[in-house]
Amino acid sequence: MDWNQLAQLLFPTIDKTPADYEALYPARDLKDGARVTRFAPSPTGFLHFGNLFTCLVSYKTAKCTDGVFYVRVEDTDQKRKVDGAIEVMLKGLSVYGIVPDEGVIGENEETGAYGPYYQSARKEIYQAFAKSLVEQGLAYPCFMTAEELDEIRAAQENESIKGIWGKWAKHRDLSFEEIAARIAAGEAWTLRLKSPGTPEGKCYFDDMIKGKIEMPENLQDVVLLKSDGIPTYHFAHAVDDHLMRTTHVVRGDEWISSAPIHLQLFKLLGFKAPKYAHVAPIMKEENGGKRKLSKRKDPEAAVTYYAEEGFPSESVNEYILTLANSNFEDWRRMNADEPLEKFPFNLKKMSVSGALFDMVKLTDVSKNVICKMPAEKVFALSYEWAKEYHPALAALYEQDTARATAILNIDRENKKPRKDIAKWSDIPAYLSYMYDETFIPCYDLTGNATPALAVKVLEKYIDIVNLADSKEEWFERIKGMCESVGCTPNVKEYKQNPAAFDGHVGDVSTVIRVALTGRTNTPDLYEITRLLGETTVKARLAAALAHYKEEN
Ligand code: GLU
């Protein structure tokens, strides 16, 4: 067989050679050790939390070596294409600080010297490499129909090795004349690899995450080009990651079973294989077992969920690092105030079997992140969120943004800030009593505070409350009224002789707190009182007094 003649028959219009493309996309001029990684989504428009996770791992892998991170869109399956998907996905990533250095940066918009970065625009490139494989006798056209392939599948049901190989690879050795005749008759063909693999052969590689791997080598004549000339994932992966000079392929571990195909392709194409880092899927605990985080079952599988709930991106990033690197939390304890970029991310510290998603943990991490934010930032971020997802909160904020910020500043910016807020959607309930519009009175008391005590306390306090007090004056004033209502200002004294008092200063405060906020546990009551303002304070004290009088 004259392979050149066959290659010309199959690809008459392809005149560029692999050498032309090698020259067009030369090795990158990067410093030693700089890694080139990519994110290669199909344009479905849905960003799974697992995609974000893998993408962040890929991004960090490049960034911590001053390398390059690029985005390539794998849009060869036109059926799965969704309009506007790329914009949505890129926006989803940018929220988490992932901005590609190169590649697709917008809908039909790209930058960089290694493009095009949309696979649909690379057809001629794939075909040039395919043609070259044919010229070397390493690939051949296969005319098997879908029915024939189904028959083979059925016949192989009990075979240990499946797929198109050995006797099943029926069109491996067709003559040039037969091929030419079939093509002339308009028969559709796919291009298959002529795999040199054998059933005994082994494939070895060292995965950056999973470690040393040994698998049977590939012996299937896998499809390289489909009948429409569009490459399969396998072939496009080899050609693209080589020409785009990817050094580290970070991808989901569902691809690990195909790695023998990929390594074989790299070899036959004469490319240096990249390093692989196969990321295990994010898992979720269910009924004592584990399963993959599922788009269908788990709302938190969608990256949009976090924006809707109002988890700040910093929290999600921080949480992802706890999932990604086992030593992250130790690092965080030692470096409480360092920005995340300083964390020395390491692929070798990734979980081999799949990190467990834990909402309680995310909530905890996020509370820690938010409690350290200055009030202005909490206000700004939660206002942005509210404008989109909670207009009622935005409207409350807009009454007086300085007051809203001051409310968010209560018990913040001190050594032990409170951790009430895990996500912006916690805020409406958190500060509902600070606005008359959302205040819901509740006069339930705790401790020694009884309705009878409440009446005495409120009758007194309503006359003496003074919003001009300093914090010390305010507290002295409350302590000062204790005796007149049968309580002691001294908790210790109360504990030594409880029978002698109706309660202590804490109980007196509880009455005031419940009257003003409807709650028994709030941040600093002094600040709350000040920010409520005289009119509201007096009105709420009076309403509570009336309530307890009636209850008595
Ligand atoms: N388009 C493939 C996917 O979404 C990319 C896998 C890879 O990163 O190579 O699964």
3-state secondary structure string across 77-100:
CHHHCCCCHHHHHHHHHHHCCCCC
DSSP 488: E
Which distant-in-sequence residues (6+ apart) come within 8 Å of 513 by Cβ?
519, 520, 522, 525
Per-residue pLDDT tens listing for the chain (552 residues) = 899 999 999 999 999 999 999 999 999 999 999 999 999 999 988 899 999 999 999 999 999 999 999 999 999 887 777 788 999 999 999 999 999 999 999 998 999 999 999 999 999 999 999 999 999 999 999 999 999 999 999 999 999 999 999 999 999 999 999 999 999 999 999 999 999 999 999 999 999 999 999 999 999 999 999 999 999 999 999 999 999 999 999 999 999 999 999 999 999 999 999 999 999 999 999 999 999 999 999 999 999 999 999 999 999 999 999 999 999 999 999 999 999 999 999 999 998 989 999 999 999 999 999 999 999 999 999 999 999 999 999 999 999 999 999 999 999 988 899 999 999 999 999 999 999 999 999 999 999 999 999 999 999 999 999 999 999 999 999 999 999 999 999 999 999 999 999 999 999 999 999 999 999 999 999 999 999 999 999 999 999 999 999 987
Distance, CA of 308 to chain centre:
13
User: Which pLDDT belongs to residue 552?
Assistant: 79
User: Which pLDDT belongs to residue 374?
Assistant: 96
Mutation probe of ligand 1 site: the residue of 82, 248, 251 with most atoms within 8 A of C-beta: 251
pTM: 0.91
> Is the sign of the CA dihedral 428, 303, 285, 329 positive or negative?
negative
Mutation probe of ligand 1 site: the residue of 58, 61, 72, 74 with most atoms within 8 A of C-beta: 74
| 41-96 residue pLDDT tens | 999 888 999 999 999 999 999 999 999 999 999 998 877 777 889 999 999 999 99
Does the C-beta of 274 come closer than 6 Å to ligand 1?
no
User: Which pLDDT belongs to residue 514?
Assistant: 98
Q: Give the three-class secondary structure for 207.
A: strand
Distance CA 173, CA 272 (A): 29
57 alpha carbon – ligand 1 mean position (Å): 14
Does the C-beta of 192 come closer than 6 Å to ligand 1?
no
> Is the sign of the CA dihedral 80, 220, 3, 177 positive or negative?
negative
Does the C-beta of 234 come closer than 6 Å to ligand 1?
no
Query: Which ligand 1 atom sits nearest the alpha carbon of residue 250?
Result: 8
Asked if 536 contacts 441 with a C-beta cutoff of 8 angstroms, the reply is no
53 alpha carbon – ligand 1 mean position (Å): 13
Mutation probe of ligand 1 site: the residue of 72, 73, 233, 266 with most atoms within 8 A of C-beta: 233
* Two structure tokens written together for 4: 């050149």
Atom 9 of ligand 1: nearest residue by CA position: 251
Question: What is the full DSSP assignment across 38-81?
Answer: EE---S-S--BHHHHHHHHHHHHHHHTTT-EEEE-B----GGG-
* Two structure tokens written together for 243: 């020409």
224 alpha carbon – ligand 1 mean position (Å): 16
Strands 139-142 and 190-193: antiparallel
450 alpha carbon – ligand 1 mean position (Å): 65
Query: Which ligand 1 atom sits nearest the alpha carbon of residue 241?
Result: 9
Distance CA 160, CA 496 (A): 82
Does the C-beta of 74 come closer than 6 Å to ligand 1?
yes
Query: Which ligand 1 atom sits nearest the alpha carbon of residue 255?
Result: 6
Where is 332: in which H helix or E strand? helix 328-334
Does the C-beta of 281 come closer than 6 Å to ligand 1?
no
Does the C-beta of 103 come closer than 6 Å to ligand 1?
no
* Two structure tokens written together for 111: 């930058």
Q: Which alpha helices (H) appear in 431-470, and where do they start and end?
A: 451-464
User: Which pLDDT belongs to residue 79?
Assistant: 74
Does the C-beta of 48 come closer than 6 Å to ligand 1?
no
208 alpha carbon – ligand 1 mean position (Å): 17
Does the C-beta of 50 come closer than 6 Å to ligand 1?
no
Atom 3 of ligand 1: nearest residue by CA position: 41
Distance CA 182, CA 210 (A): 46
45 alpha carbon – ligand 1 mean position (Å): 14
499 alpha carbon – ligand 1 mean position (Å): 73
Query: Which ligand 1 atom sits nearest the alpha carbon of residue 237?
Result: 9
468 alpha carbon – ligand 1 mean position (Å): 63
DSSP 249: E
248 alpha carbon – ligand 1 mean position (Å): 13
Residue 368 neighbours by CB distance under 10 Å: 16
91 alpha carbon – ligand 1 mean position (Å): 19
User: Which pLDDT belongs to residue 551?
Assistant: 85
Does the C-beta of 503 come closer than 6 Å to ligand 1?
no
Does the C-beta of 72 come closer than 6 Å to ligand 1?
no
